Amino acid sequence: MKELKVKLAFTEEVLGTASADKEIHRTYIASNAPDAPTLEEEIAAIGEEEVIEKAMTVFPKDNGAPIFWDYQIKGFFKDACGMLRKVSGSESSKIKAYKKEIDGLIFIKERKIPIVFEGEIGNCQRPLRGQTAQGEKIALANSETVPATATVEFTVQCMCDSHMKAVAEWLDYGQYRGIGQWRNSGKGRFEWAEVKE
């Protein structure tokens, strides 16, 4: 198994993706976690209910500090691979059942990935527009944010050596489409580098 230790340096602010409502998180999100024993851990990581509005998306917390879960990184890999498969000659276009291969052959070594930054967690409010049978509807979305100067470090483990090039391709894609909420607007974009130990 090959390992690649990486550091992501965010070039745009990152928005939280977890529901602040623990009951919604329990029912719809954490119940789909890769392993059931982590359900209570993930629900507890949402944070203090009295501090956070239920309609807001937040970062999971570890001792009050924001984190990513390992599967959020894998989710980014699936999103990047799904897009880059359409690019002729890309490493991603060579992977047939890409979601299955990412799930079963590519792992993130660390379960909790601390988000390191100076200052306080911010807030981003934006309108959401949608077309319905009754016409256009507008709602307000609200998310916790960490600043563009934030960094994370984690280790990617590949059971197939051939996947290492694809992982680098996905990480390169992070400069165009990032991680977290509202990434289609440019939020969560990053640059990456290998960390030599």
124 against 87, higher pLDDT: 87
- The angle formed by the CA atoms of residues 15, 18 and 21, to the nearest 5 degrees, is 125
What number is the average pLDDT over the span 8-16? 97
Look at residue 32 in the predicted model and tell me its pLDDT: 58
Higher confidence at residue 26 or residue 121?
121
Look at residue 134 and tell me whether its pLDDT is greater than 80: yes
| Residue 29 DSSP symbol | I
Structural domains of the chain, with CATH:
2-15+65-194 (3.30.70)
Is the pLDDT reported for residue 123 higher than 70? Answer: yes
Examine the pLDDT at 52 and tell me if it is beyond 50: no
| Closest of 147, 113, 160, 150 to residue 5, by C-alpha | 113
Binned at pLDDT 50, 70 and 90, residue 48 comes out as: very low
Tell which wins on pLDDT, 101 or 52: 101
SS3 94: helix
Mean pLDDT value across residues 135-164: 92
Q: Is the pLDDT of residue 160 over 90?
A: yes
Report H helices in the chain. Answer: 22-24, 39-44, 70-84, 98-105, 163-173
Residue-wise pLDDT for 81-105, tens only, equals 999 999 999 999 999 999 999 999 9
Q: What is the average pLDDT across 136-154?
A: 90
Overall pTM surpassing 0.75 (yes/no):
yes
Compute the average pLDDT of residues 24-32.
55
